[in-house]
């Protein structure tokens, strides 16, 4: 286990606590992520449970699984995985997120190994995981293919990668950029670059070229009446998620 | 750090239970059972000593359990314990009445045969329901019961600490207040309430009668307030009788013979001769809704969240809807690995139940205002309205489903 847990300057803790409070405020600037999170977690937990034969009705069902959360931010996915019993590494390229996530995990009574590293450098170090969570990251990286290949290298044989991103079409432009950034002000302007969005076919190509086998895909659909996200088998027009496996041999 | 109470809620708190339920009436146990069945460790803290569980004499108190409530009780293992004591409500008749004249012949008639789900509800005596809950709690793994009054509660982002009157503390992730309309849990959390008094009192008792009730519930709207006659097992019925505070006080001062003499003309002679069975109860009618159903590491359920006018026996039924919704929200969150006490999880419970509750409270209030009235125009409007509902089967069926508690966004525990 890495020892990143103890590198926090106590004088900085108050500042990090305030930033953590911001990350974890359901009505704050990460509101859209909080709204989407139950739906993302429903997908992630169901896929992991199915792939590794775990029963979600039991306590700590993910005990013994090593999970990597890439682009962990404040720990919105890392903490649930740790609470379900997994050994979690949270990686974020933004150094400022690491102590913030650490402080919050501590106060939640969770042990999570947060590191300021990229997927590529973890792969270079020979790290291996049962599950790689690659959620809303691929549309932000400069070389999606190199990044996806690094994700494959980080998986043990038979390991599971879950990857979500945003489709590229007129609807996603309207919803994700005009809607979420300009009209609703859910996200800071410039959060997304529409030209970097990825269609499901393109993502499948990235995944297959990296040497992974796509096994499932679903859309995340927002219902403006119930104000809730849900999973859809057919509608992948804006936000969508895929599961893929690393072959065992 | 010099305050020992604060040291107790520092980081990496250890918990005595996942969830502490304050209040051991009906909603508390109804919540404890499915939460423990879902794998949570649950402690029920009740200020009152557990009453004698052996078949007590009937004291006159009974509940109208909507069909949806019956389903929930069935899922959590209570119904099998009380089924034999349930009187199905097969029909509901609603009519206008005048004191001394009995019910008018014009009225609404709802028959369960019009919906496929079964009876609209069941009448259940309090002693059977309460006893079944206490037995089930004793039998349920994962439930701890403490008899003590809570004197203080302190909450932080890592956990909650309840201080009991004997000085013991109980550390938990989440506090659920099921402690009634005068909820200490809500008050200690600084949650204020909104509400109003109706200036009316509900007089409640049970009667024995000469003729069978055929499973028919009656609701008579009198100028002074509504009178409900709800069928119990055998030739007995439960009476909920609303009167102005002054009239109620005068009726309460009467002896049994005087009380029965006042009651008799109010519903005529369709049940033959009647006699009091059990005690007489009296409850001032007031609506109270907590300004928030949640707080930090805290949720309110049942009367602690909303005390309603008991015009349609909706108090317990609304509480059980809270139970079903909260169990589902917490269970789903737990399966996802979310912090069950986080504000984003609790907000899902609040948004599910608060709107529903406020709507029901307003509708109940309006119904009462419309019907507790002797204005001839309103009476004419009512009679026409009732005629319209009777003439339209679809509308009538929707009323029946509403009364049976089968409408709205039902929790899984109440679905067929």
Ramachandran category for residue B126: left, alpha or beta (phi over 0 → left; psi -120 to 50 → alpha): alpha
Average pLDDT over residues B371-395: 58
Instruction: Sort out which chain A residues have CB atoms less than 8 A from B335's CB and list them.
Output: 45, 56-57
Q: What is the pLDDT of residue B410?
A: 84
Work out the pLDDT band at B8, boundaries 50, 70, 90: very low
Question: Which SS3 state, helix, strand or coil, does residue A128 take?
Answer: coil
Tokens of B251: 């009726």
Q: Do B244 and B199 contact (CB within 8 A), yes or no?
A: yes
Nearest residue in chain A measured CA to CA from B336: A41
ipTM: 0.86
> Looking at beta carbons, which pairs linking A201-206 to residues 24 or more positions away fall under 8 Å?
A202/A168, A203/A138, A203/A163, A203/A165, A203/A242, A204/A242, A206/A138, A206/A144, A206/A145, A206/A148
In 3D, which of B213, B231, B229 has the Cα closest to residue B221? B229
Work out the pLDDT band at A110, boundaries 50, 70, 90: very high
Ramachandran category for residue B407: left, alpha or beta (phi over 0 → left; psi -120 to 50 → alpha): beta
pLDDT in tens, A20-47: 778 888 888 788 888 899 999 999 999 9
Q: Do B150 and B66 contact (CB within 8 A), yes or no?
A: no
Q: Do A101 and A76 contact (CB within 8 A), yes or no?
A: no
Asked if residue A40 belongs to a known ligand binding site, the reply is yes
Q: What is the pLDDT of residue B354?
A: 81
Q: Do A41 and B13 touch (CB under 8 A)?
A: no
> Looking at beta carbons, which pairs linking A59-67 to residues 24 or more positions away fall under 8 Å?
A59/A85, A59/B39, A60/A84, A60/A85, A61/A85, A62/A86, A65/A130, A65/A131, A66/A128, A66/A129, A66/A130, A66/A131, A67/A129, A67/A130, A67/A131, A67/A132, A67/A133
Please state the domain count of chain B.
1
Domain of residue B223, residue span? 4-414
Model pTM greater than 0.90?
A: no
Length of chain B: 416
Q: What is the sign of the dihedral through the CA atoms of A24, A216, A149 and A175?
A: negative
Closest in B39, B332, B344 to A59, CB measured? B39
User: DSSP readout, B136-201?
Assistant: HHHH-TTEEEEE--EEEEEE-SS-EEEEETTS-EEEEEEEEE-S-TT-HHHHHTT--EEEEEEEEE
- For chains A and B, CB pairs below 8 A equal 46
**Which of A166-175, B31-40, B108-117 has maximum average pLDDT?**
B31-40
Q: What is the pLDDT of residue A30?
A: 82
Closest in A41, A57, A107 to B338, CB measured? A41
Round the CA-based radius of gyration of chain B to a whole number and report it. 22
Query: Could you tell me if A126 lies within 8 Å of chain B, comparing CB atoms?
Result: no
Q: What is the sign of the dihedral through the CA atoms of A16, A21, A24 and A29?
A: negative
> Which residue reads 């404040």 in tokens?
A74
- CATH at B115: 3.50.50.60
- Cβ within 8 Å of A, B 13-42: 13, 38-39
Q: Do B409 and B356 contact (CB within 8 A), yes or no?
A: yes
Question: Which SS3 state, helix, strand or coil, does residue B205 take?
Answer: strand
> Of all residues in chain B, what percent carry a pLDDT higher than 70?
79
Q: Is the pLDDT of residue B263 over 90?
A: no
* Domains, chain A: 4-166+197-245 (3.40.50.150)
């Amino acid at each position: 286990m890495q020892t990143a847990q103890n590198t926090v300057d106590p004088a900085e803790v108050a500042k990090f606590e305030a930033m953590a409070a911001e990350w974890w405020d359901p009505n704050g600037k990460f509101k859209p992520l909080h709204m989407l999170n139950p739906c993302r977690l429903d997908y992630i937990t169901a896929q992991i449970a199915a792939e590794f034969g775990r029963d979600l009705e039991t306590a700590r069902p993910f005990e013994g699984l090593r999970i990597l959360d890439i682009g962990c931010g404040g720990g919105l996915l890392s903490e649930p995985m740790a609470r379900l019993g997994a050994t979690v590494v949270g990686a974020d390229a933004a150094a400022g997120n690491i102590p913030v996530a650490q402080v919050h995990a501590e106060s939640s009574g969770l042990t999570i190994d947060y590191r300021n590293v990229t997927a590529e450098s973890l792969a270079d170090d020979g790290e291996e995981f049962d599950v790689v969570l690659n959620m809303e990251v691929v549309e932000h990286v400069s070389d999606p293919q190199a990044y996806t290949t690094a994700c494959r290298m980080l998986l043990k044989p038979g390991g599971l990668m879950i990857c979500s991103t945003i489709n590229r079409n007129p609807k996603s432009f309207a919803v994700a950029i005009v809607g979420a950034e300009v009209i609703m002000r859910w996200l800071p302007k410039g959060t997304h670059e529409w030209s970097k969005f990825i269609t499901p076919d393109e993502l499948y190509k990235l995944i297959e070229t990296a040497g992974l086998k796509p096994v499932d895909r679903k859309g995340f659909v927002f219902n403006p009446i119930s104000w809730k996200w849900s999973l859809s088998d057919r509608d992948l027009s804006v936000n969508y998620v895929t599961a893929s496996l690393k072959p065992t041999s | 750090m010099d305050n020992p109470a604060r040291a107790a809620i520092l980081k990496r708190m250890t918990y005595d239970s996942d969830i502490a339920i304050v209040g051991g009436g009906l909603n508390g146990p109804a919540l404890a059972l499915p939460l423990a069945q879902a794998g949570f460790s649950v402690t029920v803290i009740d200020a009152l000593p557990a009453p004698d569980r052996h078949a007590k004499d009937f004291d006159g108190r009974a509940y109208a359990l909507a069909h949806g409530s019956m389903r929930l009780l069935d899922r959590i293992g209570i119904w099998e314990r009380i089924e034999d004591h349930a009187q199905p409500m097969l029909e509901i008749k609603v009519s206008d009445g005048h004191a001394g004249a009995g019910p008018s012949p014009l009225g609404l008639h709802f028959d369960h045969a019009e919906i496929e789900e079964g009876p609209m509800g069941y009448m259940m005596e309090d002693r059977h329901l309460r006893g079944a809950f206490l037995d089930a709690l004793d039998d349920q793994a994962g439930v701890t019961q403490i008899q003590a009054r809570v004197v203080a509660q302190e909450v932080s982002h890592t956990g909650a600490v309840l201080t009991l009157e004997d000085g013991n503390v109980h550390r938990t992730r989440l506090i659920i207040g099921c402690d009634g309309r005068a909820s200490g849990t809500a008050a200690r959390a600084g949650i204020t309430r909104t509400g109003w008094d109706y200036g009316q009192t509900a007089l409640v008792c049970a009667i024995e009668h000469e003729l069978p009730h055929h499973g028919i519930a009656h609701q008579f709207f009198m100028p002074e307030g509504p009178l409900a006659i709800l069928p119990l097992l055998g030739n007995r019925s439960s009476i909920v009788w609303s009167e102005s505070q002054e009239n109620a006080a005068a009726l309460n001062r009467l002896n049994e013979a005087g009380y029965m003499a006042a009651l008799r003309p109010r519903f005529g002679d369709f049940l033959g001769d009647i006699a009091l069975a059990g005690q007489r109860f009296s409850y001032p009618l007031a609506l109270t809704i907590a300004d928030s159903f949640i707080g930090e590491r805290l949720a309110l359920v049942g009367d602690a969240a909303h005390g309603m006018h008991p015009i349609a026996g909706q108090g317990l039924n609304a509480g059980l809807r809270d139970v079903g919704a909260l169990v589902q929200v917490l269970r789903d969150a737990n399966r996802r690995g979310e912090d069950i006490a986080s504000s984003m999880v609790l907000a899902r419970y609040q948004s599910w139940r608060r709107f529903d509750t406020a709507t029901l409270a307003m509708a109940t209030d309006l119904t009462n205002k419309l019907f507790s009235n002797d204005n001839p125009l309103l009476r004419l409007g009512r009679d026409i309205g009732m005629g319209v509902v009777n003439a339209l089967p679809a509308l009538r069926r929707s009323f029946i489903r509403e009364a049976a508690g089968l409408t709205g966004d039902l929790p899984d525990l109440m679905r067929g």
